[in-house]
Amino acid sequence: MSIENTTVKGGWTITHGDTSIEKHPDALAAFEKATAGFIGVKFTPVALLATQIVSGKNYAILCKATPATLDPATTLKVVIVYEDLNGNATITGIKDVLGADYPVFAATCDCSANDNIVLGGWNITLGDPSIDKHPDALAAIEKATAGMLGAKYEPIALLGTQIVAGKNYCILCRITPVTLDPKPTMKLVYVYEDTEGNAVITEIKEIIGAPVPGGFIANDGATDLNSNPEVKNAFEKATKDLLGVDYEPIAYLGYQIVAGKNYLILCESKIVVPDPIPSLTLVTVYEDLDGNCKIINTEPVVL
């Protein structure tokens, strides 16, 4: 694999010459440190695509990704690894090679366990993320959606904040169109509030869209697990013997009818290490027709 040396947007420099990962021992070493102890998916590095000089260095590495499941399907991903000036390394982003970011990915980009900074300067909400516990975020989204026609925005949880010239909020919302037969969807709504208190929606990312045959159907009721005992029971059975990572449910997002049922649950996840850095993960729990439950997919959330 060989491509020309080119600087791209964001300060990235495309790898010059042979991109094979074994030709770039510094990138390979950083990758191995960043993925040590990583649970749920096996990443096999293939090629170093680009580097970026920051306070340390970022590496964009093409990988084969194989989930730890009974019938794994290998896909190609671009894994972003950050290595600080002390040689500490961590994964800061995972992108689909076909061009779409995962709707949720564990994306901590600071090697200090005392911080909970995520990709792009976002800070994951610590403690209870319920929107009513964060009146500033609630007020911002109410201002941003005031007078909007065509859909009802129901904020559920504050997932993260970002300090800019003002503040950005990432808020999990249930959005229901104003139609005769409305079908709710689950989305990440990004709200920017300036220093004078004016607020506007800057982006909306889909988690669960309009129902399609065989697809997930958005939860149109209460999102806490205590209000959904069948989901809570399935989640607890699926996670009771789980090792290496703790999942704390934030919101039950939706379900999918298969030979049994899949439940999609947004969780705060922490790797079982001293002073863990929290991240956000979409966890899919499968319950078969006999009531047996297991986690079949996890997708970290990138804010």
pLDDT in tens, the chain (303 residues): 333 334 333 467 778 777 788 889 999 999 999 888 776 778 888 888 888 887 788 898 888 888 776 677 777 778 888 888 888 888 877 776 543 333 322 222 232 222 333 334 678 887 888 899 999 999 999 999 988 888 889 999 999 898 888 899 999 999 888 887 778 888 889 999 998 999 999 888 888 766 655 678 888 899 999 999 999 999 999 999 888 888 999 999 999 888 889 999 999 988 877 777 788 889 999 999 999 999 988 888 877
- CATH number for the segment(s) 2-100: 3.10.450
Which helix H or strand E contains 303, and what residues bound it? none
Q: Rounded distance, CA 28 to CA 89, Å?
A: 11
Domain boundaries, the chain: 2-100, 131-208, 217-300
Please name the residue ranges forming H helices in the chain. Answer: 25-35, 135-145, 229-239
In sequence order, what are the residues at sequence separation of 6 or more whose Cβ sits closer than 8 angstroms to the Cβ of residue 148? none
Q: Would you state the structure tokens that stand for residue 106, as one six-digit string? A: 């564990």
Q: Which residues contact 112 (CB under 8 A, 6 or more apart)?
A: none
Sign of CA dihedral 234, 269, 168, 82: negative
Burial class (CB in 10 A: 0-12, 13-18, 19+), 79: buried
What architecture is the 217-300 domain classified under in CATH? Roll (3.10)
Q: Is the pTM of this model over 0.75?
A: no
